[in-house]
Amino acid sequence: MTAQRSYRYYDFVMAAFVAVLLCSNFIGAAKQAVVTLPLVGEITFGAGVLFFPISYIFGDILTEVYGYGRDRRVVWAGFGALVFASVMAWVVIHLPPAKTDFMAAYQSHLEGVFGNAWRIAAGSMIAFWCGSFANSYVLAKMKIWTRGKWLWTRTIGSTLVGELVDSALFYCIAFYGIWATADVVKVTLFQYVLKTGWEVVMTPVTYKVVGFLKRAENEDYYDRGTDFNPFVLKN
């Protein structure tokens, strides 16, 4: 393991990762949206899926440039942020509202959006934790196997694994029994396809960001000899 060193952009990438994670899980996760596609017809999906894949792109960038150990710290930072957000949502909902007409209506809206927040939070945390570590592990191993060549194979390959784990866990934990089972299955499948499709579309951007960071940070980390235990926080 290399000695500790500081980086110019690592903290910014971490902050962006956590921001995307929180917003995509709490703003859009509970909404079912519908689009009509040519030759396919009407498709139902969770609105948060439009933005959540960005967190996986950040995960790919972190592992590719800084290594699994430093991405592991970011995953735990995101996990902690999700825990805090879920606790805050529970406290805010359960605080007695002021006895006004406005607050009576506002309280019902809060409960409608965040009333099942414990399931969304549990699903988000479990799925995010498992999916992110699966994604990072696969990318780190593939980087060694490919000797650093063909970045697209490991960004897409790791996302196929990580998003499969994430999608399968999140919607089952968060919405099974709330949504119709058929909707859970449809949304889960479409989410998986859309998320992995995002990774393919964003590959040129990923290449540019990775190339920029490797040059700016003078780092291109290979996880040889890395302890992949997710509960160890050492780099």
Q: Give dist(CA 182, CA 199) in Å, integer.
A: 26
Residue 121 lies in a domain: yes
Q: Which of 63-67, 119-123, 135-139 has the lowest mean pLDDT?
A: 119-123
User: What is the Cα 137 distance to its own chain's centre?
Assistant: 15
* pLDDT tens digits for range 135-167: 999 999 999 999 999 999 999 999 999 999 998
Q: Grade residue 3 by pLDDT with cuts at 50, 70 and 90.
A: low
Residue 232 lies in a domain: no
Largest distance between two CA atoms of the chain: 65
* pLDDT tens digits for range 43-52: 776 677 778 8
Mean pLDDT over the full length of the chain = 88
Residue 5 lies in a domain: no
Q: What is the pLDDT of residue 116?
A: 64
Looking up residue 148, the CATH number of its domain turns out to be 1.10.1760.20
Residue 235 lies in a domain: no
Domain with 84 in it: 10-217
Residue 1 lies in a domain: no
Residue 176 lies in a domain: yes
- The DSSP result for the chain, as a single string, is -PPP---SSHHHHHHHHHHHHHHHHHTSTT-EEEEEETTTEEEEEEGGGGTTHHHHHHHHHHHHHH-HHHHHHHHHHHHHHHHHHHHHHHHHHHSPPPSSHHHHHHHHHHHHHHTTHHHHHHHHHHHHHHHHHHHHHHHHHHHHHTTT--HHHHHHHHHHHHHHHHHHHHHHHHHBTTB-HHHHHHHHHHHHHHHHHHHHHTHHHHHHHHHHHHHHHT-----TT----TT----
Residue 77 lies in a domain: yes
Q: What is the pLDDT of residue 111?
A: 82
Residue 109 lies in a domain: yes
Contact present, 171 and 188 (Cβ < 8 Å) = yes
pTM (2 d.p.): 0.86
The mean pLDDT value for 196-223 works out to 94
Contact present, 223 and 68 (Cβ < 8 Å) = yes
Q: How many domains does the chain have?
A: 1
**In one letter, which amino acid is 4?**
Q
